Amino acid sequence: MSTETTDPRFLHVATWPTATAVEAMLEGQLSAIAALHSQVAAIAAASDAAAARLKAGGRLCYAGAGTSGRIAVQDGVELRPTFDWPKDRLVFLLAGGTGALTESAEGAEDDGDAARAGVATEAIGANDVLIGVAASGTTPFTLAAIEAARAAGALTIAVANNSAAPLLAAAEHAILAETGSEIVAGSTRMKAGTAQKAALNMISTAIMLRLGFVHRGLMVNMRMSNTKLRRRGAAIVAEIAGVSIAEADGAIEAAGRHIPRAVLIALGETPDRARHLLDQSGGSLSQALATRQG
């Protein structure tokens, strides 16, 4: 596997001046992002397919072990504050359980039975999307999760860093981030991890775009969970509806701190009518505004 091989250029990296070593690390990070350029079409196709499933009310599920698993969980967790993605529509299958987020549980990656049990326990099925992430593309836990979820009818997406990996063949949609050797051989938290996080960023954000959770480049479905985000929410409502911050604040309160409803209320709709327009539009503010104008 290319992610495990030693690069002769870095045999003596431990003796290099720190600035030189850091510069080499930076070059590796840049090459990790560049490795995704060839995957744009694959990422787009996976995202479109995932959004179509999730429109039916399914869940977004992540599976992984070790570094890859922790990166996968990070992507999913961030969807809640950014897009107000419901907690009950997120599933995490992490080798070793949630304790593996803060404590290494590397041996758990070999437990395919645990992954299959997780898919069964969570009742992952036809409306759900499972994203499996593994640098090697051979991790038994992640491979078993993908195979079990696909057999249960879920849409499956694999992200791996080695070509011809079994994980890529097992999933319906394969994302190959071929990052090659690491500056520290086998340390896939470096280039491989960077490419994985970037790929997941693009997949999940593209899904949210297709679900209508972004309007005019703004996070209109974000959760206003603190003072800073409350101010940001008011600015978003004011910008879209063309009203003052004070009027936006009033609309936000009338909408129960829900930005899309607040926009419609600021434009003159009643709270009930705003809710109805959004229900008709599958939660998409853009579609609700188009329906209102039509």
Are 58 and 207 within 8 A, CB to CB? no
Distances (CA, A) of 273 to 85, 199, 247, 263, 279: 23, 38, 18, 12, 10
Known catalytic membership, residue 109: yes
Q: Which of 4, 27, 78, 269 is catalytic?
A: 78
Of 196, 234, 187, the residue nearest 72 (C-alpha): 196
Q: Which two tokens stand for residue 252?
A: 């936000």
Measured in degrees and rounded to the nearest 5, phi and psi for residue 257 equal 60, 35
Q: Which two tokens stand for residue 64?
A: 């992984």
Known catalytic membership, residue 269: no
CA distance linking residue 236 with residue 257, whole number of Å: 12
Q: Which of 23, 103, 106, 109 is catalytic?
A: 109
Q: How far is CA 94 from the centre of its chain?
A: 15
Just list the catalytic residues. Answer: 78, 109
